[in-house]
């Protein structure tokens, strides 16, 4: 198949592209603006293949999207391009409305025009797969899980823009018959994670001997999904999912933030012990909470397991160990980002 991946130079997009190039015969076109979050070195393992190509362009640019579609003739659009960081959405929501809402509208409109020109068989086989987040469902208390039918209740500029984009995608499916798929997943982590997010930020700041900022009292809970398991889920959905359907994807690995940070510290204590015997946990610093901080997310992933046979392949303990080791072994990848793009300073004060 020919698969156009928007946001393919990002954290999850690049994991999907590496998987498709390394483990399938599919052809892949990455369509990416290369914002601060687009990192071409994350695609080195795929870029050598003659089944891989790349276009640098903005999803808000209708002409560029239209040209990519008519040149590449995709059977699948995997739409991951987005502004993705909650803290940045607090400081500057405009880019989130532009890329996540307007950009998704442009993608849908161009995809519809392209789809209408296909043969009946190609029309039936085509999929527009929109990758979204569990944050659209709001915040949970101590109990319960998000299912595919949980009402939307987004609470940050980021999650509101993603919720709006999900509604646009479903409207294009319902009104125009475009074969759409939506996935809503929990917090991803793993190799090539951009250093603004909690897990890479903690690993990197720990190694740099800096304070490890935990927002509020560290009791907020996230449900962690290893990014390579997520890439496998995305492939299962666009290959086998029924058009019009939504699938929740989660790692079945709820952890309090403070426990995640302590786990990372313990792994570093084993792999890169401080020479004076101190634990990395001594660097933990509780800081002012994120404005509007959602308390808990947790995904019920039983639908994708029952209907498509997907389950996570690693536990959180296995995935976090592999992730810390990856950051230890790939310092050049994140040092470049620290030098040129983002040096792990606090974002999202409101």
26: closest CA among 304, 231, 310? 231
Can residue 5 be called a binding residue for ligand TDX (CB under 6 A)? no
DSSP 49: S
The active-site residue, picked from 83, 134, 229, 294, is: 134
- Nearest distance from C-beta of residue 166 to ligand TDX, angstroms: 12
33 binds, among ligand NAD, ligand TDX, none (CB under 5 to 8 A by kind): ligand NAD
Can residue 213 be called a binding residue for ligand TDX (CB under 6 A)? yes
List of residues contacting ligand NAD (CB under 6 A): 6-7, 9-13, 32-35, 37-38, 58-60, 80-84, 99, 103, 131-133, 162, 185, 187-188, 194
Can residue 214 be called a binding residue for ligand TDX (CB under 6 A)? yes
The answer to whether 87 is a known catalytic residue is no
Find the residue with minimal CB distance to ligand TDX. Answer: 133
The answer to whether 135 is a known catalytic residue is yes
The answer to whether 134 is a known catalytic residue is yes
Beta bridge partners of 285: 213
Can residue 257 be called a binding residue for ligand TDX (CB under 6 A)? yes
Rounded (5°) CA angle 210-216-219: 105
User: Which lies closer to ligand NAD via its Cβ, residue 7 or residue 138?
Assistant: 7
Applying CB under 6 A, which of residues 36, 152, 176, 215 lies at the interface with ligand TDX?
A: 215
- Nearest distance from C-beta of residue 175 to ligand TDX, angstroms: 26
Distance CA 341, CA 343 (A): 7
Applying CB under 6 A, which of residues 26, 167, 197, 303 lies at the interface with ligand TDX?
A: 197
**Two tokens at 112?**
């519809």
The active-site residue, picked from 32, 83, 87, 135, is: 135
- The position carrying tokens 């933030």 is 257
Q: Helix 257-271 and helix 198-207: axis angle, to 10°? A: 40
Q: In 3-state terms, the chain is what percent helix, strand and coil (to 5)?
A: 45, 15, 35
**Two tokens at 160?**
């509101």
CB 176 within 8 A of CB 109: no
Helix (H, G, I), strand (E, B) or coil at 31: strand
Applying CB under 6 A, which of residues 187, 252, 263, 283 lies at the interface with ligand TDX?
A: 187
For the segment 82-101, give every residue that binds ligand TDX (CB under 6 A). 84-87
What is the length of the chain? 350
Distance CA 168, CA 18 (A): 29
Distance CA 100, CA 275 (A): 46
Q: Which window, 49-57, 209-217, 305-313, 318-326, contacts ligand TDX (CB under 6 A)?
A: 209-217
235 binds, among ligand TDX, ligand NAD, none (CB under 5 to 8 A by kind): none
CB 155 within 8 A of CB 138: yes
Residues of this chain that interact with ligand TDX (CB under 6 A) are: 84-87, 133, 135, 187, 197-198, 201, 213-215, 220, 222, 257, 290
- Residues classed as catalytic: 134-135, 158
């Amino acid at each position: 198949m020919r698969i156009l991946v928007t946001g393919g130079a990002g954290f999850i997009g690049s994991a999907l592209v590496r998987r498709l190039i390394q483990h399938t015969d599919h052809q892949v076109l990455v369509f990416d603006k290369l914002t601060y979050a687009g990192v071409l070195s994350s695609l080195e393992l795929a870029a050598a293949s003659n089944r891989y190509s790349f276009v640098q362009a903005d999803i808000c640019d209708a002409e560029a999207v239209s040209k990519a579609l008519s040149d590449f003739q995709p059977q699948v659009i995997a739409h991951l391009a987005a502004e993705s960081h909650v803290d940045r959405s607090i400081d500057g929501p405009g880019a989130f409305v532009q890329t996540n809402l307007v950009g998704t509208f442009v993608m849908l409109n161009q995809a519809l025009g392209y789809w209408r020109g296909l043969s009946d068989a190609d029309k039936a086989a085509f999929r527009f797969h929109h990758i979204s987040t569990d944050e659209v469902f709001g915040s949970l208390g101590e109990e319960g899980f998000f299912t595919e039918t949980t009402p939307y209740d987004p609470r940050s500029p980021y999650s509101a823009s993603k919720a709006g984009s999900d509604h646009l995608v479903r409207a294009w499916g319902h009104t125009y018959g475009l074969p759409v798929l939506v996935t809503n997943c929990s917090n991803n982590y793993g190799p090539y994670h951009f250093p603004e997010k909690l897990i890479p930020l903690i690993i990197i700041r720990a190694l740099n001997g800096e304070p490890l900022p935990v927002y509020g009292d560290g009791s907020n809970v996230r449900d962690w999904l290893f990014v390579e398991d997520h890439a496998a889920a995305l492939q299962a959905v666009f290959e086998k999912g029924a058009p019009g359907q939504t699938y929740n994807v989660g790692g079945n690995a709820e952890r309090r933030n403070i426990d995640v940070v302590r786990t990372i510290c313990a792994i570093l204590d084993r792999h890169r012990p401080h020479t004076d015997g101190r634990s990395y946990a001594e660097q933990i610093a509780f800081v002012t909470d994120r404005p509007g901080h959602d308390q808990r997310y947790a995904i019920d992933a039983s639908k994708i397991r029952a209907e498509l046979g997907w389950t996570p392949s690693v536990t959180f303990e296995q995935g976090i160990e592999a992730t810390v080791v990856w950051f230890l072994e790939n310092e050049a990848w994140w040092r470049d980002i620290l030098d040129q793009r983002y040096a792990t300073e606090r974002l999202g004060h409101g």
